[in-house]
Structure 1
Amino acid sequence: MSVTHRLVHSVDSCAHERGHITDSRFYGNRYATSGSRRIYCDVCRKQRWLDIEAALAQAQGELGMIPARAVAGIVSAARLECIDLDAVQAEIDRSGHSLVGLLRVLQVACPDDTGEYIHFGATTQDIQDTGQALEMRDTLDELTREIAAILASLVELAEQHAGTVAVGRTHARAALPMSFGLKVASWIDELLRHTERLATARSRVVVAQLFGGAGTMAGFGGGGVVLLERFAARLGLAVPTLGWHVARDRVVEFVTTLAMVSGTLGRVADEIRTIGRPEFGEVTEPWRYGKVGSSTMPHKRNPERCEQVVVMAKLAAAQAGIAFTAMVGDHERDARALRVEWACVPDVSHYTLAACEIVRELVTGLTVHEDRLRVNAQEVADQLATERLMLALGRQLGKQTAHERVYELSQTAHDTGRPLRHLFDDCADLRDLVDERELDVIFDPSQYLGASTDLTHRALAEARKWLGARG
């Protein structure tokens, strides 16, 4: 028997229901979370649509648009335990329509003739857009909780290292001394801006859709606006001014905002990966015995978490481009725009929440090696001193002339390997301009942190204010 034949035979009993990486039994937990799967569960989505149909019936019953007995019948039947999902699938296959199959099976489940009043005056996209708005709301809730947890850990980390000397690097080279806390504060500050974006986006994104076939509300008689208000209130959604069947900026804002959050998390993770390299050794990400880095090199402790967050950031960014294509739709309805969202909204949510979960693990268990931070700063102390030395000389030579002199010395030091301070001592005309005590301070990285500590505490104050407001 061939290997191929044995493989085919071994999977004959498989239902083949897990084709997307987020659903993978083996690898999905690094591309999605239990929270994101709960929000975007295919079966739960059907219940969400049923909930929306029930809310519509209740609002219409209050306004006398449908009989009270119809409301009771629809609400009692709008539960998954009353619905034959196999029948729904068969109807979807037969009709080729994304919602009619569910409506037909729901109608059968309703007592007497009450099912005749299901979906009265509404259009399919009203239900599905409203359902997606609820999914986006739940995602924003989950995301905000995750960011709060990350910020709480970062605040502790930044506070602990507000004055810890570190090498500030620009263009991947030593630049100036800074505190490690200021590096963390930069992450905090960026995440806080995302909390603002998420909060303001919520008011625009988390809105109901109930405008009928072409956005005119004609199917609701003269009571469409009042119906919309009651419908939205039942579902905890805001009320839009007009229908948004082809105006997809709300969804694009959601997707792009999440992609930005993922990008920040990717920056955090990649910085941890970089300064955690053995050449730097400044931090170590959490590790446990039994975790394997390589199938052939037993010593490896790879930065798997950091790498996976960057993967999530790249995948989330890709969804933004897809979402933007939905902004161009024809006339009053266009499924070419709508259906790309069915892929990119869940995907960006899975990837962003997965990135959050991993970063939370990273920063909660991150080990900062203060000794290596100090050693690394001392090893490049000459390079870190050039600005301060230039400014000291500039008091008498002028800044531009001082820059030229220090430039010459530092480039010579680079080419010859001689310490900058030794070269400076050989220049009698410069040596007389700065006394020995000041030179000791200039070449001590820990004495040139600037406002690092104060700036760190500014970010910490903002973070604590936001966290405190959440209770």
Structure 2
Amino acid sequence: MTCTHERSHIVDSTFYGHNYSTPASHRIFCDRCRFQRWLDIEATLALVQAEIGIIPADAAERIAASAKVDLLDLDAVRAEIRRTRHSLVGLLRVFQAACGDAGEFVHYGATTQDIQDTGQALEMRDVLDEIESVLRPVVATLADIADEHADTVALGRTHARPALPIGFGLKVAGWIDEIMRDCERIRAMRGRVLAAQLFGGVGTMAGFGDAAPDLLQGFAARLGLTAPPLGWHVARDRVAEYVSTLAITAGTLGRIGDEIRTLSRPEFGEFELGWRDGHVGSSTMPHKRNPEACQQIVVLARLAAASVNTGLAAMIGDHERDSRALRLEWACIADVSHYTLAACAIAESVIGGLAVRPQRIGENVADVTEQVITERLMLAMGRHVGKQTAHEHVYQLSQRAQSTSTPLRELLAEHEVGALLNDDELARIFEPSGYLGQSASLTRRTVTEARKWLGQ
């Protein structure tokens, strides 16, 4: 078989594309589906124009009936695009021919970017709908984990080192809260970002005559988009916001995936990743169970972040139109969408197969108990000698304990400040479960908000 070299980007790879894209992202950004979307927009334009008397009603009906990509010769479209060196005229000419005499009214008064920007807004809307639909079950699963382990004593770590005890559910609650903020950002930007474009060559709407305002309102309403007060042919902040918001969402999932990866390492053992017979971690080390999915979420988050620079660069354009900006968007919108949707899908799979290991969590706390109680010890001692003085005492004792592998409690008993606290006080101080602060209540409050958000 002779290779036709049709799949040269990783998202389109027959073999590896599933790690960088999803069936939904392919559906949304498919060439053929994009043409159909543009034809739907042309049909909508014609129908609304007929309603307000700009073009004949029978012409609009013929245009709408002909606006089916299956009726067009796509080879001819491709040839015309290359011959004309224009991104839309090739499609319009073949479409016009399919409409017969009504073809004279196709694309009436509009400019190329009106159709393509409106189509792009519909693509972005479909992506946002998909993201929210995937993140909801992620939040539901995390809420169950957080609720179950609100009181599970765990090790809080700062700068990759033991810090203070926390409820394990609080860690998970932090993930939930961040995902819900991502979804809030997505919902908040919909009205701004998902806007129709129908302002003609230089934004004056001159080609539509006095009916232009009514046309825009009807056009946007039929498509389910916002009718903006002005054209945005060169004002690309909407796209920059979309790209940035998706990259933030992917970044959230990257942080979660990376922490799951870390906590599932044998040295930590606090999570166990889902696994099934047939998964292979290495071609030479048969025992390996690598956290490939967690690592891939991080990869996708970093790729999504790289799209932001391109999205911001597209904000700079000349005068009333500039393709240097637009063609950047054709790349970065699809890229950030593929990567973010893939990150969402992989995160849903990882979290859905996750198992918490409470016994190992407790063992990890027990191994460093004398480190994670130093704040509590300092504050108790501070009631007698002042907090800053107590900090210095506990600092010297705890650092010596680590350097000499001597138990902190033993060093404390030998020091004069040890007499400041009785045995019962010390027993309470050296019990990590008594210093979880508001972990449980903060966790349960977040879980309640999550379930309310989910409509449970």
Band the TM-score falls in, shorter-chain normalisation: over 0.9
Q: Which runs of 5+ in 2 are unaligned?
A: none
Q: Which of 268, 272, 275 is the matching residue for 2:260?
A: 272
Q: SS state of the match for residue 210, structure 2?
A: coil
Match of 2:427 in 1: 440
Return the letter of the residue paired with 1:425: A
Return the letter of the residue paired with 2:430: F
RMSD of aligned residue pairs (Cα, Å): 0.9
Q: CA deviation at 1:430?
A: 2.0
1:91-102 matched pairs, under 5 angstroms = 91-102=80-91
Q: CA deviation at 1:447?
A: 1.6
1:279-428 matched pairs, under 5 angstroms = 279-427=267-415
1:60-139 matched pairs, under 5 angstroms = 60-111=49-100, 113-139=101-127
Return the letter of the residue paired with 1:372: R
Match of 1:7 in 2: none
Return the letter of the residue paired with 1:264: T
Q: CA deviation at 1:190?
A: 0.8
Distance 2:386 2:222 in 1: 71
Q: CA deviation at 1:276?
A: 1.1
Tell whether 2:40 aligns with 1:35.
no
Distance 2:384 2:114 in 1: 74
Q: CA deviation at 1:457?
A: 1.0
Return the letter of the residue paired with 1:467: L
Return the letter of the residue paired with 1:395: R
Tell whether 2:251 aligns with 1:255.
no
Q: SS state of the match for residue 327, structure 2?
A: helix
1:2-21 matched pairs, under 5 angstroms = 13-21=2-10
1:197-276 matched pairs, under 5 angstroms = 197-276=185-264
Q: SS state of the match for residue 156, structure 2?
A: strand
CA offsets per residue over residues 316-353 of structure 1, 9 Å max, x none?
A: 00000110001100000000001100000011011001
Distance 1:342 1:95 in 2: 19
Q: Which of 163, 172, 178 is the matching residue for 2:166?
A: 178
CA offsets per residue over residues 386-444 of structure 1, 9 Å max, x none?
A: 000001101111101110100010010011000111111112x2222111122112111
Return the letter of the residue paired with 1:28: G
Q: Which runs of 5+ in 1 are unaligned?
A: 1-9
Distance 2:390 2:23 in 1: 59
Distance 1:424 1:118 in 2: 87
Return the letter of the residue paired with 1:282: E
Match of 1:449 in 2: 436
Return the letter of the residue paired with 2:6: E
Distance 1:190 1:75 in 2: 44
CA offsets per residue over residues 217-247 of structure 1, 9 Å max, x none?
A: 0000111111001111111111001000000
Q: TM-score, normalised by structure 1?
A: 0.96
Match of 1:53 in 2: 42
Q: CA deviation at 1:376?
A: 0.4
Distance 2:91 2:301 in 1: 36
Match of 1:6 in 2: none
| Cα contact 2:167–2:440 (8 A) shared by 1 | yes
Q: SS state of the match for residue 176, structure 1?
A: strand
Q: SS state of the match for residue 320, structure 2?
A: coil
Match of 1:463 in 2: 450
Distance 2:12 2:411 in 1: 62
| Cα contact 2:413–2:419 (8 A) shared by 1 | no
Return the letter of the residue paired with 1:445: P
| Cα contact 2:165–2:436 (8 A) shared by 1 | yes
Tell whether 2:13 aligns with 1:24.
yes
Q: TM-score, normalised by structure 2?
A: 0.99
Number of aligned residue pairs: give it.
Answer: 456
Q: CA deviation at 1:197?
A: 0.4
1:118-197 matched pairs, under 5 angstroms = 118-197=106-185
331-340 or 61-70, larger mean C-alpha shift: 61-70
Distance 2:173 2:58 in 1: 59
Return the letter of the residue paired with 1:17: E
Return the letter of the residue paired with 1:184: V
Distance 2:4 2:76 in 1: 18
Structure 1 segments (4+ residues) deviating >6 Å: none
Distance 1:409 1:14 in 2: 70
Q: SS state of the match for residue 273, structure 1?
A: helix
Q: CA deviation at 1:17?
A: 1.3
Distance 1:431 1:66 in 2: 92
Distance 1:458 1:214 in 2: 52
Q: SS state of the match for residue 246, structure 1?
A: coil
Return the letter of the residue paired with 1:450: G
Q: SS state of the match for residue 298, structure 2?
A: helix
| Cα contact 2:253–2:297 (8 A) shared by 1 | yes
Distance 1:365 1:442 in 2: 37
Q: CA deviation at 1:93?
A: 1.1
Distance 1:241 1:466 in 2: 32
Same amino acid, percent of matched pairs: 61
Match of 1:431 in 2: 418
Q: SS state of the match for residue 406, structure 1?
A: helix
Distance 1:194 1:278 in 2: 31
